């Protein structure tokens, strides 16, 4: 057990956005001899003899998700066209890699007089106060271990005193030995290696079910960690494998504070030295793998709650998304033609969450879009943060703890806490309220749970506001006060 005194001297301010797919890493560098490919089969199983055929091409199957007929293959780059043509293959593309959040950490002293007592940090949790009506929802329900939220993320601090009492048995690791494409020697691939090396997953868990110095939205709800990130990137295969495992374990809600973009069309790489244009295919295999995974877990009875993303984009406007991707990755020699989709936020059947700051305004980073956003929750804002940087009074911003007014506080990977913002921070709060509804009304279908969320767990909005907030602003008190 980590000692409280070792972590209480500082809280970290973390400007943290959700993982985004890196086209540069997803496509690999031109001229490499081998690459990683996502392969989706026509059936939800691997065709007989497929592994032998891949071996004959000089490759190997490195990761399997048999429940949805999806594998990852490592093979020579010149074998890609043959790989796509193998019997039983529906579609294949260079694997999409999902990166950890970019973060900016700033040390900030803990308020004087703070101790380890129950809810010692409550006065700093303006986001949880907003969603629980200043704690009034706790009088109506705090959840129970009869309901479990599966957190597909960077893992969890299994010893954190604010998390441990709600951490249910059965957390799992899906990062294989060697980590991301063999680049992480510290990753041994053990199924029990679900410790958080980043902090993101622990922060998410605290927002759901923290119960100690900080409180989550549902402080007595069960949680389980499904680790898909190490210190680098994750693969689509790991993520969908974790989703399926969580559903097979019977979790009621799957919380996914991650996302990125898939391109349905074509991706190209232009060699900066030769000017050669190389056709890289599209991301259909990864896109459809998420679709199959969501269908699988939904049939199993698990509701999937996902982050909308942090690029300030209208996710419904495919041209805007494509323009963003082409600007973002132009320096890598990449460009895209077709339609861009935020994934898994645009996948049918999931609850997609936008983020708000103080006073229920759309966060200055949050993605939005009519028909894309289902519900909004507090994820923090960075307007004053950036203003302070631009106008030269950032030191004052930190010294006067102004971040407390716009950032969200939650647990860290080292027994302490840190401040963060993002749709990553909004998503777990929706997951927590969904868990509270299951605890109150009993096990129900994901469709019915979605309906309850959108009709009872909100402060409703109308008209054009729906493009930003979906059904409305998350409210745990309203959800339970019926």
Distance CA(225)–CA(86), nearest Å, equals 36
**SS3 assignment, position 24:** helix
Instruction: Domain of residue 366: give its range.
Output: 4-19+103-480
Q: What is the pLDDT of residues 400-456, one digit of tens each?
A: 999 999 999 999 999 989 999 999 999 999 999 999 999 999 999 999 999 999 999
Question: Is the N-terminal amide bond of 58 cis, ω within 30° of 0?
Answer: no
Other C-beta atoms closer than 10 Å to the C-beta of 359 total 7
pLDDT of 24 reads 38
Q: Which residue has the higher pLDDT, 454 or 29?
A: 454
Q: Do 188 and 140 form a contact (C-beta atoms < 8 A)?
A: no
13 domain residue, yes or no = yes
pLDDT band at 48 (very low <50, low <70, confident <90, very high): very high
pLDDT at 95: 85
Q: What pLDDT is attached to residue 2?
A: 31
CATH number at residue 293: 3.40.50.200
Does the residue 15 lie in any domain? yes
For residue 52, is it within any domain?
no
Look at 8-22, 34-48, 130-144 and tell me which has the smallest mean pLDDT.
8-22
Q: What's the average model confidence in pLDDT over 138-144?
A: 98
Over residues 147-155, mean pLDDT: 97
Which pLDDT value is given to residue 348?
93
What is the SS3 assignment for 97?
A: strand
Q: Which residues participate in catalysis according to the annotation?
A: 153, 200, 424
CB-based contacts of 338: which residues, under 8 Å, 6+ apart? 263, 264, 265, 266, 282, 322
* 217 neighbors 433 (Cβ within 8 angstroms): yes
In a domain, 138, yes or no: yes
233-235 and 260-270: which strand pairing? unpaired
What's the pLDDT tens digit per position in 166-214?
Answer: 999 999 999 999 999 989 999 999 999 999 999 999 999 999 999 999 9
Q: pLDDT (tens digit, 9 = 90+) per residue, 355-413?
A: 999 999 999 999 999 999 999 999 999 999 999 999 999 999 998 999 999 999 999 99
Nearest to 282 by CA among 55, 21, 17: 21
How many residues make up the chain in this entry? 482
DSSP 3-state assignment of 216? Answer: coil
Q: Which two tokens stand for residue 329?
A: 């990755």
- What pLDDT does residue 13 have? 61
Q: Could you give the angle at which helices 284-300 and 236-248 cross, rounded to 10 degrees?
A: 10
What are the φ/ψ torsions at residue 276 (nearest 5 degrees)? -65, 135
What one-character-per-residue DSSP string does 298-340 give? HHHTPEEEEE--SS--BTT-HHHHHHHHHHHTGGGTEEEEEEE
pLDDT at position 102 = 59
Q: What is the pLDDT of residue 230?
A: 86
Kind of pairing between the strands at 417-420 and 408-411: antiparallel
d(CA 219, CA 207): 9
239 and 286 in contact (C-beta within 8 Å)?
no
User: Which candidate, 123, 77, 16, 5, places its Cα nearest to that of 418?
Assistant: 16
Q: Is residue 462 situated within a structural domain? A: yes
- Decide if 64 contacts 130 (C-beta within 8 A): no
Tens of pLDDT along 223-243?
999 999 988 789 999 999 999
Q: How many CB atoms lie within 10 A of CB 428?
A: 34
In a domain, 174, yes or no: yes
Query: What pLDDT, on the 0 to 100 scale, is given for residue 108?
Result: 43
Residue 278 has pLDDT above 90, yes or no: no
Tell me the torsion sign for CA atoms 286, 444, 376, 403. negative
- Residue 247: count of CB within 10 angstroms of its CB: 22
- In the chain, the percentage of residues whose pLDDT exceeds 90 is 70
What does the pLDDT read at residue 233? 87
Residue that wins the pLDDT comparison between 61 and 15: 61
Number of structural domains in the chain:
1
Asked if 135 and 477 touch (Cβ cutoff 8 Å), the reply is: no
pTM of the prediction?
0.92
In the chain, the percentage of residues whose pLDDT exceeds 70 is 89
In 3D space, the residue among 312, 317, 407 whose CA is nearest the CA of residue 364 turns out to be 312
pLDDT value at position 339?
86
**What's the pLDDT at 113?**
58
Nearest C-alpha neighbor of 378 from the set 395, 361, 365: 361
436 or 333, which is more confident?
Answer: 436
φ and ψ at residue 106, rounded to 5 degrees: -135, 120
Residue 119 confidence class, pLDDT cut points 50, 70, 90: confident
Where does the pLDDT of residue 268 fall: very low under 50, low under 70, confident under 90, or very high at 90 and above?
A: confident
The pLDDT tens digits for 89-112 are 999 988 888 876 555 555 444 555
Q: Are 332 and 346 a contacting pair, CB within 8 Å?
A: no
Mean pLDDT, residues 239-254 taken together: 98
41 domain residue, yes or no: no
Q: Residue 110 has which token pair?
A: 């803990």
* Local confidence band at 114 (pLDDT 50, 70, 90 cut-offs): low
Mean pLDDT of the chain: 88
Q: In this structure, how many other beta carbons lie within 10 angstroms of the beta carbon of residue 81?
A: 9
């Amino acid at each position: 057990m980590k000692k409280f005194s070792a972590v209480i001297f500082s809280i970290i301010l973390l400007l943290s956005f959700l993982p985004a797919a890196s086209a540069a890493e997803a496509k690999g560098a031109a001229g490499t001899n081998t690459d990683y490919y996502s392969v989706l089969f026509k059936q939800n199983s691997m065709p007989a003899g497929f592994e032998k055929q891949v071996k004959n091409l000089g490759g190997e199957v490195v990761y399997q998700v048999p429940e949805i007929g999806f594998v990852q293959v490592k093979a020579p780059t010149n074998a890609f066209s043959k790989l796509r043509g193998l019997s039983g293959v529906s579609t294949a593309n260079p694997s999409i890699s999902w990166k950890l959040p970019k973060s900016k950490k700033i040390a900030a002293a803990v308020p004087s007089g703070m101790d380890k007592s129950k809810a010692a940090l409550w006065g700093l949790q303006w986001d949880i106060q907003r969603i629980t009506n200043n704690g009034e929802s706790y009088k109506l329900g705090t959840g129970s271990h009869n309901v479990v939220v599966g957190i597909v993320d960077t893992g969890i601090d299994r010893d954190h005193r604010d998390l441990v009492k709600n951490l249910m048995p059965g957390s799992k690791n899906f990062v294989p030995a060697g980590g991301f494409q063999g680049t992480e020697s510290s990753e041994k691939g053990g199924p029990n290696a679900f410790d958080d090396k980043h902090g993101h997953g622990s922060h998410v868990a605290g927002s759901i079910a923290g119960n100690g110095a900080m409180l989550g939205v549902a402080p007595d709800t069960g949680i389980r960690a499904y680790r898909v990130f190490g210190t680098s990137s994750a693969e689509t295969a790991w993520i969908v494998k974790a989703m399926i495992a969580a559903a097979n374990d019977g979790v009621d809600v799957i919380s996914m504070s991650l996302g990125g973009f898939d391109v349905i069309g074509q991706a190209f790489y232009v060699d900066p030295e030769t000017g050669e244009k190389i056709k890289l295919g599209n991301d259909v295999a990864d896109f459809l793998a998420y679709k199959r995974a969501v269908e699988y877990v939904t049939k199993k009875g698990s509701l999937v709650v996902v982050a909308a993303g942090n690029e300030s984009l209208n996710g419904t406007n495919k041209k805007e998304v494509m323009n963003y991707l082409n600007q973002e990755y132009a320096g890598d020699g990449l460009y895209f033609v077709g339609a861009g989709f935020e994934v898994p936020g645009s996948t049918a059947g999931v609850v997609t969450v936008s983020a708000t700051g103080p006073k229920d305004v759309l966060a200055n980073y949050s993605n939005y879009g009519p028909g894309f956003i289902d519900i909004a929750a507090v994820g923090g804002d960075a307007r004053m943060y950036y203003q302070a940087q631009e106008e030269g009074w950032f030191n004052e911003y930190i010294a006067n703890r102004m971040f407390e007014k716009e950032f969200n506080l939650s647990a860290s990977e080292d027994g302490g806490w840190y401040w963060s913002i993002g749709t990553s921070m909004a998503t777990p709060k929706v997951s927590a309220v969904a868990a509270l509804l299951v605890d109150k009304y009993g096990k129900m279908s994901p469709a019915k749970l979605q309906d309850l969320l959108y009709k009872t767990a909100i402060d409703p909005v109308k008209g054009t506001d729906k493009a930003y907030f979906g059904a409305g602003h998350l409210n745990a008190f309203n959800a339970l006060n019926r």
